[in-house]
Amino acid sequence: MEGGKILGKPAVPEGELVEYSISTLAWVGDAVFELYVRTRLSSEYKTASGPLHQLATHYVSARGQAELAGKLTGEAGSFPLEPHEDKLLRRARNYHSSSMSRNALPADYRKATALEALIGWLWLAGKEDRVVELIDYLLDTSRTDGPDHGSGC
């Protein structure tokens, strides 16, 4: 999909993506991330949607995404970020949103927004392979027990 199409529409040139707001990039990234997590979990665990939803919320929440974002920065970060990706993460982490989740700490919300913005940027730029590589790295380095906490589902 690199530089090609996204769901039948042309990818957005990176020069235009610079003009997108952090909140728009995060809005798209949130949807991409949640769909990827749901798709992956439903293929890994053959169980009802309730237990899958419980497991997905571990990842698809401000707290969960903040924990994942921490795997990209600092000494713990071993995922090879491109310089422009690192710059976007920092810019997005410093973005002050007019809205805030009731259930999230402000620092967690900012880290989650940064991760979502990066995913949104990559997706809109048509870099689906990079999105998959990034999300797989994050999920693989933070494995939890499956539905029913390891009952073999």
The domain containing residue 122 runs over which residues? 13-146
| Residues 81-140: tens digit of each pLDDT | 999 999 999 999 887 665 666 677 888 999 999 999 999 999 999 999 999 999 999 999
Residue 137 lies in a domain: yes
CA distance linking residue 101 with residue 41, whole number of Å? 25
Q: Number of folded domains in the chain?
A: 1
Question: From the candidates 30, 129, 140, 148, which is the catalytic residue?
Answer: 30
Residue 116 lies in a domain: yes
Residue 6 lies in a domain: no
| Residues 6-44: tens digit of each pLDDT | 888 999 998 999 999 999 999 999 999 999 999 999 999
CB 12, CB 124: distance < 8 Å: yes
Catalytic annotation on 30?
Answer: yes
* CB neighbour list of residue 130: distance below 8 Å, 6 or more residues apart: 122
pLDDT of residue 32: 98
Residue 60 lies in a domain: yes
